[in-house]
Amino acid sequence: MDTMSLHQGRFATASGVLIVAGKGGVGKTTVAAALATAAARNGASTLLVEIDGTRQLAKLFDVPDLTYEPIRLDLGDTPAPLWGCKITPDDALADYLEGRGLYRALKRVQGDRVLDALASSTPGVKDLLVLGKIRQIEQAGAYDVVIVDAPASGHALTLVRAAAGVLDSVDSGPIREQAVEVAAMLADPDRCQVVLVTLAEETPVSEVIDTAFALEDEIGVALAPLVVNAVLAQAPGSPSGDHLGVVDDDMATSLTDAVDFARTRGEARDEQLDRLTRLLPLPRVHLPHLDAESFGRAEIGQLADLLAVAADVLTDDGVP
- Tens-digit pLDDT profile for residues 24-67: 999 999 999 999 999 999 999 999 999 977 789 999 999 999 99
**CB of 17 closer than 8 Å to CB of 189:** no
Structural domains present in the chain: 3-234+281-317 (3.40.50.300)
**What share of the chain in percent tops pLDDT 70?**
75
pLDDT bucket at 73, cuts 50 / 70 / 90? very high
Compute the average pLDDT of residues 147-161.
Answer: 90
H or E segment at 170?
none
Instruction: Say which range, 7-21, 57-71, 173-187, has the weakest mean pLDDT.
Output: 7-21
Can you tell me the mean pLDDT for 89-116?
63
Above 60 in pLDDT, residue 308?
A: yes
Q: Which residue has the higher pLDDT, 185 or 115?
A: 185
Q: Rounded to an integer, what distance in angstroms lies between the CA atom of residue 279 and that of residue 300?
A: 30
pTM of the model: 0.85
Residue 237 confidence class, pLDDT cut points 50, 70, 90: low
Q: CA–CA separation, 180 vs 309, rounded Å?
A: 37
More confident residue, 254 or 72: 72
Contact 259, 238 (CB under 8 A): yes
pLDDT at 14: 58
What average pLDDT does the segment 221-225 reach? Answer: 92
- Asked whether residue 317 carries a pLDDT value surpassing 50, the answer given is no
Radius of gyration of the chain (CA): 22
Using the 8-state DSSP alphabet, how is residue 5 labeled?
G
> What is the spatial distance between Cα 64 and Cα 115, in angstroms, rounded to a whole number?
27
State mean pLDDT over 286-314.
87
pLDDT in tens, 259-294: 656 667 778 899 999 999 999 989 999 999 998 888
What amino acid occupies position 29? Answer: T
